[in-house]
Amino acid sequence: MTASPLRLMAVHAHPDDESSKGAATLARYVAEGVDVLVCTCTGGERGDVLNPAMDRPGVKENIAEIRRKEMAEAAAILGVGHRWLGFVDSGLPGEGEPLPEGCFALQDPAVAAEPLVAAVREFRPHVIVTYDESGGYPHPDHIMTNRVAVEAFEAAGDPDRYPGTGEPWQPLKLYYIVSFTREWFTAIHEGMRARGLSHPLAEEVTDDWFDGMPELTVTTRVTCDEHFETRDRAVKAHATQIDPDGPWFATPRDLEREVWPTEDYQLARSLVETELPETDLFAGIRR
């Protein structure tokens, strides 16, 4: 349908989300010559230091600057462009606690979408990927990211909306990322058991763990196992957030390639004809 270079935009809440959710897909498409842009809604200023090796004096006090540097390194590893949308991290308040004044999650979605609409009109993506309505998990910034991304998808092509943010451009497809599902973990766990191995999360990730998580229908499986190593290097670049000795790296990569070589998505909007299930985010768009 298009002979021009294909363009893919990924919209995420915090620095590190782009590397932990769908990163191998981004790396695959970059390797194929697709232009990829990651838009990060917040600076991750309220993120905790989750890597014990980085929990040292001065890190927490300078977390905003450090996370910007981590994001730049991760983007370089993935080979993607990057844009900050300029909002302040909402943190993850406890039950009954108020959200911080001025944070991303308290913005009017129509107002918060403006910088993303401007990015869409400038970059002109054919496809946008982001989270589903639940945020993937109930973090207020992830939920707001969905609202903002949907608003931008639906508004960017309308010349009467968001005047002054560039020439209208209508993306053709919108996808929700489907990650860490019950089916995925079961396949990984059973694969490790077959090798006589035990996953360190096996006792923690029970049926109750998945309660309240979205049950999305996978419409599109993108084979990207050749890029799992790039994904791992990108996520480890977020050193304040990722413990390289943590349980998320316990799965042997050759086993992961064998039992689950894809990253998975739900097609949420499409303005082109496509046949489900898909194996390509650009199905129906490629010439």
- Measure the CA–CA gap between 124 and 122, rounded to whole angstroms: 6
14 carries a ligand binding annotation:
yes
17 carries a ligand binding annotation:
yes
213 CB-contact burial (10 Å; exposed 0-12 / middle 13-18 / buried 19+)? middle
Packing angle, helices 228-236 and 23-31, rounded to 10? 120
SS (H, E, C) the chain: CECCCCEEEEEECCCCHHHHCCHHHHHHHHHCCCEEEEEEEECCCCCCCCCHHHCCCCCHHHHHHHHHHHHHHHHHHHCCEEEEEEECCCCCCCCCCCCCCCCHHHCCHHHHCHHHHHHHHHHCCCEEEECCCCCCCCCHHHHHHHHHHHHHHHHCCCCCCCCCCCCCCCCCEEEEEECCCHHHHHHHHHHHHHCCCCCCCCCCCCHHHHCCCCCCCCCEEEECHHHHHHHHHHHHCCCCCCCCCCHHHCCCHHHHHHHCCEEEEEEEEECCCCCCCECCCCCCCEC
Going by the annotation, the residues of the binding site for Zn(2+) are 14, 17, 142
User: Which parts are annotated binding residues?
Assistant: 14, 17, 142
